[in-house]
Structure 1
Amino acid sequence: MDLVAKEPRIDDAFGRVLARCWETGATPWSAVEVIERDDGLIAANDASRYFTEPAQWSALDRWAWERAQGRVLDVGCGGGRHAVAWVARGHEVVGVDPSPGAVRITRERGAKAVVGSVPFLPGELGRFDTIALCGDSLGLLGGPEQAPQVLSALAAVAGPGARLIGTGTDPGDGAGTVHAGYHSWNLSRGRAPGQLRLRVRDGVVATPWFDYWLAAPDEFTAAVDRSAWTMETMERDPTGSGYAVRLRK
């Protein structure tokens, strides 16, 4: 009998993975997040990373998280790792994530959260003193063409003098890695080298495809220069490819 490969059913694959992880106490490797890239590359990650405590975060992520002030919008809140820690510090926090499962878990953990995504944020969120894209969520800017719209949407819910904090990753040139060919393919189709087209898989279920931008620092700075935000600080990882930023509206 011939078997015909079928496209996965589109649903909340990310939320399903988080739910399994959360139900087991977020123990390491209790659930696996499978990420598919549009060239067929598959990566598997330990989903417990979405429930880690501040002491387990990278130095850059802690640096960004510690600079939150006042009312915080946690963009791409996932399982609530940053939101719950901010609530414990006395901040009013609203998380936003396209995954209903992620939003449910964040609420169960004691932080407010709503279903939504950038640039089309839910209405009536109010104004925020801090816009946060921690946990490498600067990638949610999507790419050079999408970034101005995303930054504009975030500025629209930011109060006067608000800050945007977050962390991202410099993709480098990919030389000597499995990513070199993908960078070249991106350039050939008019995309940024580190602009990824991804979806999360969970068995026969997948999320819709989405863009996630690993922007080089100069690419990120150029996007900020075309927005309502001003760069205040960029911290670089001296031994790696990560960076953290603080912008001011």
Structure 2
Amino acid sequence: MKDVYGEAIFDFYKGDHSVVLTTHNTYGEPEEMPVEVFFRDHQDFTELENLAITSCEGKILDVGAGAGAHALFMQAFEMDVTALENSPGCIETLKHSGMEKMVNQDFYAYESKYDTLLFMMNGLGIAGKLASLPFFFSHCKKLLNSGGQIILDSSDISYLYEEGVAKPNHYFGEIQYQYEYKGKKGEWFDWLYVDSKSLVQETKELDLHTEILMTDEYDQYLARVTGF
């Protein structure tokens, strides 16, 4: 598969700050993703991100670490963190940035044990579909020590359909994206945004507990999932 996303991130890391990463989607016009957001200094972290980091405990797996903004910050403060990525470009960026513990593997193929799984920047999206949440949490359980936790953020994107966009015939938080960089397009992929009420209900049905730690003014929220 083309590593369009990772190539853009590694080029930015190498100094090409003219990088333009375009995201195509199933709800509207293509959008430009500001690649610099993946390289933010901790001073630019939001309140939600800071709370997520301080909520992490024990041995931590940062899933979909990207360029490593969060993982590198935690490492600098001697937290036991491993960055998980399946993008070769991101792995190269992490290596050059000094990330000490990293794994280049697909999340669903990875097996190890941690106390905290961290999914940031709408990282729950990796589940893909609402109906796939049981499978997602089942795999999370395999990666967690007894009493472990998941720290994640997601968003309520129902506002998209209040602006004249036709409502889909499936759960409104199920989106498809495609990256484009330097004229190259990656594969379309599923991404999931879950409103907090739905997440609480879905996890309750799996005998898990979701605590909403905070919600910001953009309908993005931070949650802790326990019961493993």
TM-based fold match above 0.5: yes
Task: Please tell me whether residue 200 in structure 1 is matched to residue 179 in structure 2.
Answer: yes
Task: Please tell me whether residue 19 in structure 1 is matched to residue 10 in structure 2.
Answer: yes
Counterpart-to-counterpart distance in 2, 1:227 and 1:121: 22
Counterpart-to-counterpart distance in 2, 1:116 and 1:221: 29
Counterpart-to-counterpart distance in 2, 1:161 and 1:32: 42
What amino acid maps onto 1:24 in structure 2?
Answer: G
Following superposition of structure 1 onto structure 2, how do residues 225-244 of structure 1 map, counting pairs within 5 Å? 225-227=204-206, 229-237=208-216, 239-244=217-222
More helix by share: 2
Q: What SS is found at the alignment partner of 2:55?
A: coil
Counterpart-to-counterpart distance in 2, 1:227 and 1:114: 28
Counterpart-to-counterpart distance in 1, 2:92 and 2:115: 24
Give the match for residue 65 of structure 2. 77
User: How far did residue 19 of structure 1 move?
Assistant: 1.0
Give the match for residue 144 of structure 2. 158
Q: What SS is found at the alignment partner of 2:61?
A: strand
Counterpart-to-counterpart distance in 2, 1:223 and 1:53: 34
- Tell me the matched-pair count: 226
Counterpart-to-counterpart distance in 1, 2:213 and 2:140: 19
Checking the alignment, whether the CA contact within 8 Å between 2:212 and 2:221 is kept in structure 1 is no
Range with greater deviation from structure 2 (199-208 or 128-137): 199-208
Task: Please tell me whether residue 62 in structure 1 is matched to residue 40 in structure 2.
Answer: no
Pairing partner for 1:102 from 87, 90, 98? 90
Task: Please tell me whether residue 141 in structure 1 is matched to residue 127 in structure 2.
Answer: yes
Q: What SS is found at the alignment partner of 2:160?
A: coil
Counterpart-to-counterpart distance in 2, 1:142 and 1:117: 14
CA 1:219–1:117: 2 relative to 1, 3 Å = farther
Checking the alignment, whether the CA contact within 8 Å between 1:12 and 1:206 is kept in structure 2 is no
CA 1:23–1:158: 2 relative to 1, 3 Å = same
Q: Identify unmatched segments of 5+ residues in structure 2.
A: none
Pairing partner for 2:155 from 158, 164, 169? 169
Pairing partner for 1:115 from 91, 104, 125? 104
Counterpart-to-counterpart distance in 2, 1:225 and 1:245: 14
Checking the alignment, whether the CA contact within 8 Å between 1:152 and 1:227 is kept in structure 2 is no
Q: CA offsets per residue over residues 181-232 of structure 1, 9 Å max, x none?
A: 2xx1x22xxx211211112111332222211112111122222223363213
Q: Identify unmatched segments of 5+ residues in structure 1.
A: 1-9
Q: CA offsets per residue over residues 45-97 of structure 1, 9 Å max, x none?
A: 21010011222122112211221111111111100111101111112222122
Checking the alignment, whether the CA contact within 8 Å between 1:30 and 1:47 is kept in structure 2 is no
Give the match for residue 225 of structure 2. 247
Pairing partner for 2:190 from 200, 205, 211? 211
Give the match for residue 38 of structure 2. 50
What amino acid maps onto 1:50 in structure 2?
Answer: F
Counterpart-to-counterpart distance in 2, 1:158 and 1:228: 16
Runs of 4+ in 1 over 6 A off after TM superposition: none
Checking the alignment, whether the CA contact within 8 Å between 1:72 and 1:128 is kept in structure 2 is yes
TM-score (norm 1): 0.83
Q: What SS is found at the alignment partner of 1:223?
A: helix
Counterpart-to-counterpart distance in 2, 1:220 and 1:18: 31
CA 1:94–1:246: 2 relative to 1, 3 Å = same
Q: CA offsets per residue over residues 159-190 of structure 1, 9 Å max, x none?
A: 11111101111112424436x22xx1x22xxx
Larger CA Rg, structure 1 vs 2: 1
